């Protein structure tokens, strides 16, 4: 009897527990939904991930989540994201182990970018044409499949059209008279190159690029993204890479694209009264500024710093347009008769690191810099061998073998780095042995840092196969971190690659100069 009532009691407890669980399950998704529309959600990208009670590795683990699971984002701090767990608890996960899903955007309208655009019955050109839309018309966008978007037609029926031939437009209900363009908010581009995207997020496709110092008209803002217009280019850019609200900056001293110009690559670049570092600084130039080139003196450019003012800037720290980069004197003979092996890391099925923000493949940027370096070495009289000249897989042993077979004077491996901490950035040159390897690494490290303006993480000992197993003089350059957003953006640019290659080149030259 007492047994029975005990069982009965237990059963009741279980039922009430089940009821509260179903209540929880029933109402939390509602809370989740409203939240996720605010800030988006994350998908766990590793098989299992610790959830902590604070934004950092040192905080206590309070739960674990599994790969492919989705959680709404509550807030973000540094590289950590606070998520909402199904039991209503909140906890922090490392952003580099998750994929961030953008919040669903409210119903958008689209207009064709061409005069007339076919509307089809399905999402490809193999479906029959069911109608046409004119450039002046706009339709609500309902869904997307690949590059195709689903729209609702005037009669309420559904159709599909080529997404790349449409642009997003404000809902007709929201259209207001266009403000006077001169009173529109402006933004100025901060980074060397900035992708303009079809939507507000780094996963959206790039539709064009704008450059440091460009002035953009702000059309609308959504979270950290702004929709901008620059001449005929319209799209979304990351607001943290522009200076907002500023009036358009005064035009740079030189604007005509036909005339030779140089572009300042590093913030706080000294412009001097003469062609050498012993001359006074007459102006400090900002990154992205352009100046007309009046002449070249040694390896310095004579430039127009103001309407009636002339100054000089060191040729190796700027990028030249419409004029050859400065000539270098005295270095040619140093590399004559030397064989340098340039080793672009990874290749083929081995992509190396992948930039988490823009999807940059390490093997691609490694090869781009390696080609630039190889060209500079050849121009300076060296015999250059590359372990790969295109996108193919080469084993580590093969790389070392060609170094030994050709008895090269130096083996230079080119890589780009990654870190779990997205804030880590900078250059590291690795050596395996003390002595010559270390000296070469120090020399390259110094020159790369000087030219790129990147953080100096110093030359370091590195136990890499291509260094350890290599009897020849060998170093491995890590030119920056693909996991750092700013560096990933900049490392894709021709300017950065040019300066990085120039730094490695100068480091090699200076090393051999002191060995002479």
Residue 65 CB partners (closer than 8 Å, separation 6+): 44, 48, 49, 51, 71, 83, 85, 93
Distance separating alpha carbons of residues 476 and 493, to the nearest angstrom = 21
Q: Which is nearer to Zn ion, 168 or 362 (CB)?
A: 362
List the one residue out of 268, 217, 208 whose CA is nearest residue 246.
217
Q: Point out the residue whose Cβ comes nearest to Zn ion.
A: 415
Q: Is the distance from CB of 55 to CB of 92 less than 8 angstroms?
A: yes
Query: Rounded to whole angstroms, what are the CA distances from 414 to 84, 368, 516?
Result: 42, 10, 25
Closest separation in Å from C-beta 395 to Zn ion: 14
Residue 235 tokens read as 């799209």
Q: What character string, x for contact with Zn ion (CB under 5 A) and - otherwise, covers 32-51? A: --------------------
Q: Does 352 help bind Zn ion (rule: CB under 5 A)?
A: yes
Q: Does 200 help bind Zn ion (rule: CB under 5 A)?
A: no
Q: Which is nearer to Zn ion, 200 or 345 (CB)?
A: 345
Closest separation in Å from C-beta 362 to Zn ion: 5
Site for Zn ion in 220-259 (CB under 5 A): none
Considering CB under 5 A, how many residues would be counted as binding Zn ion? Answer: 3
Closest separation in Å from C-beta 452 to Zn ion: 18
Distance separating alpha carbons of residues 215 and 206, to the nearest angstrom = 18
Residue 443, SS3? Answer: helix
Closest separation in Å from C-beta 492 to Zn ion: 16
Q: What character string, x for contact with Zn ion (CB under 5 A) and - otherwise, covers 388-417? A: ---------------------------x--
Q: Give exposure, 435-472, as e/b (b: 16+ Cβ within 10 Å).
A: ebbbbbbbbbbbbbbbbbbbbebebeebebebbebbeb
Q: By CB under 5 A, which span of 32-40, 52-60, 347-355, 399-407 interacts with Zn ion?
A: 347-355
Closest separation in Å from C-beta 348 to Zn ion: 14
Distance separating alpha carbons of residues 208 and 234, to the nearest angstrom = 9
Q: Does 345 help bind Zn ion (rule: CB under 5 A)?
A: yes
Distance separating alpha carbons of residues 39 and 26, to the nearest angstrom = 22
Q: Which is nearer to Zn ion, 399 or 415 (CB)?
A: 415
Q: What are phi and psi of 388, to 5 degrees?
A: -155, 145
Query: Rounded to whole angstroms, what are the CA distances from 347 to 278, 343, 389, 467?
Result: 45, 11, 10, 18
Q: By CB under 5 A, which span of 319-327, 343-351, 463-471, 498-506 interacts with Zn ion?
A: 343-351
Q: By CB under 5 A, which span of 4-12, 217-225, 352-360, 449-457 interacts with Zn ion?
A: 352-360
The span from the first CA to the last CA of the chain, in angstroms, equals 102
Q: By CB under 5 A, which span of 34-42, 252-260, 350-358, 403-411 interacts with Zn ion?
A: 350-358
Burial environment of residue 475 by CB neighbours within 10 A (0 to 12, 13 to 18, 19 or more): buried
Closest separation in Å from C-beta 507 to Zn ion: 19
DSSP string, 307-331: TTEEEEEEGGGEEEESSPPPP--S-
Q: What character string, x for contact with Zn ion (CB under 5 A) and - otherwise, covers 99-118? A: --------------------
Q: Which is nearer to Zn ion, 218 or 367 (CB)?
A: 367
Q: Does 72 help bind Zn ion (rule: CB under 5 A)?
A: no
Q: Which is nearer to Zn ion, 200 or 347 (CB)?
A: 347
Closest separation in Å from C-beta 361 to Zn ion: 11
Q: Which is nearer to Zn ion, 214 or 362 (CB)?
A: 362
Q: Does 507 help bind Zn ion (rule: CB under 5 A)?
A: no
Q: Which is nearer to Zn ion, 376 or 415 (CB)?
A: 415
Q: Which is nearer to Zn ion, 352 or 355 (CB)?
A: 352
Q: Which is nearer to Zn ion, 283 or 399 (CB)?
A: 399
Q: Which is nearer to Zn ion, 334 or 501 (CB)?
A: 501
Instruction: List, in sequence order, the alpha helices (H) in 278-361.
Output: 332-335
Q: Which is nearer to Zn ion, 440 or 466 (CB)?
A: 466
**Cα 256-491-316 angle, rounded to 5 deg:** 55
Q: By CB under 5 A, which span of 100-108, 242-250, 341-349, 496-504 interacts with Zn ion?
A: 341-349
Distance separating alpha carbons of residues 123 and 15, to the nearest angstrom = 49
Q: By CB under 5 A, which span of 339-347, 389-397, 404-412, 430-438 interacts with Zn ion?
A: 339-347
Distance separating alpha carbons of residues 506 and 512, to the nearest angstrom = 10
Closest separation in Å from C-beta 249 to Zn ion: 38
Residue 219, SS3? Answer: strand
Instruction: List, in sequence order, the alpha helices (H) in 458-493.
Output: 465-468, 485-491
Q: Which is nearer to Zn ion, 315 or 352 (CB)?
A: 352
Closest separation in Å from C-beta 176 to Zn ion: 51
Closest separation in Å from C-beta 139 to Zn ion: 47
Partners of 261 in beta bridges: 292, 321
Closest separation in Å from C-beta 353 to Zn ion: 6
Residue 456, SS3? Answer: strand
Q: Which is nearer to Zn ion, 120 or 416 (CB)?
A: 416
Q: By CB under 5 A, which span of 213-221, 250-258, 349-357, 369-377 interacts with Zn ion?
A: 349-357
Distance separating alpha carbons of residues 192 and 453, to the nearest angstrom = 13
Closest separation in Å from C-beta 413 to Zn ion: 8
Residue 314 tokens read as 């060191």
- Under the rule (CB under 5 A), what is the footprint of Zn ion? 345, 352, 415
């Amino acid at each position: 009897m007492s047994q029975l009532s005990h069982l009965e009691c237990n059963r009741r407890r279980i039922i009430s527990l089940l009821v509260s669980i179903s209540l929880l399950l029933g109402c939390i998704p509602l809370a989740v939904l409203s939240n996720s529309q605010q800030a988006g959600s994350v998908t766990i990208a590793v098989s299992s991930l610790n959830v902590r009670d604070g934004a950092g590795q040192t905080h206590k683990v309070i739960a674990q989540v599994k790969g492919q699971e989705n959680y709404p984002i509550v807030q973000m701090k540094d590289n950590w994201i606070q998520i909402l767990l199904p039991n209503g608890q909140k906890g922090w996960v490392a952003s580099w182990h998750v994929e961030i899903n953008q919040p669903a955007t409210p119903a958008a309208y689209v207009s064709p970018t061409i005069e007339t655009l076919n509307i089809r019955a399905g999402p490809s050109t193999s479906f029959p044409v069911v109608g046409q839309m004119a450039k002046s018309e706009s339709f609500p966008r309902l869904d997307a499949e690949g590059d195709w978007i689903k729209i609702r037609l005037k009669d309420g029926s559904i159709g599909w059209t080529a997404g790349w031939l449409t642009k997003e437009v404000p809902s007709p209900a929201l259209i207001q008279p266009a403000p006077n363009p001169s009173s529109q908010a402006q933004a100025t581009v901060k980074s060397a190159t900035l992708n303009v995207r079809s939507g507000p997020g780094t996963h959206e496709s790039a539709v064009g690029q704008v450059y440091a110092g460009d002035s953009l008209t702000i059309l609308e803002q959504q979270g950290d993204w702004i929709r901008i217009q620059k001449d005929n280019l319209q799209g979304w850019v990351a607001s943290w890479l522009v200076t907002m609200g500023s009036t358009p900056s005064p035009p740079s001293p030189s604007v005509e694209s036909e005339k030779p110009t140089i572009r300042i690559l590093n913030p706080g670049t000294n412009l001097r009264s003469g062609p050498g570092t012993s001359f006074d600084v007459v102006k400090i130039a900002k990154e992205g500024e352009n100046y007309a080139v009046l002449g070249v003196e040694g390896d310095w450019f004579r430039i127009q710093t103001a309407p009636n003012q002339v100054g000089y800037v060191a040729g190796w720290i700027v990028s030249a347009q419409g004029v050859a980069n400065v000539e270098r004197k005295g270095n040619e003979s140093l590399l004559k008769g030397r064989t340098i092996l340039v080793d672009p890391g990874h290749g083929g099925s081995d992509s190396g690191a992948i930039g988490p923000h823009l999807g940059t493949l390490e093997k691609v940027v490694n090869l781009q810099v390696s080609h630039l370096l190889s060209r500079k070495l050849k121009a300076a009289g060296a015999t250059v061998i590359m372990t790969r000249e295109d996108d193919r897989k080469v084993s580590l042993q093969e790389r070392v073998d060609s170094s030994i077979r050709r008895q090269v004077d130096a083996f230079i491996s080119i890589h780009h780095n990654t870190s779990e901490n997205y804030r880590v950035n900078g250059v590291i040159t690795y050596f395996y042995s003390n002595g010559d390897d270390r000296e070469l690494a120090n020399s390259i490290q110094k020159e790369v840092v000087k030219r790129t303006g990147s953080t100096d993480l110093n030359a370091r000992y590195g136990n890499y196969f291509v260094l350890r197993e290599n009897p020849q003089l060998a170093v491995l350059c890590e030119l920056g971190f693909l996991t750092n957003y700013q560096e990933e953006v900049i490392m894709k640019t021709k300017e950065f690659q040019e300066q990085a290659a120039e730094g490695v080149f100068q480091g090699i030259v200076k090393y051999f100069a002191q060995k002479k």
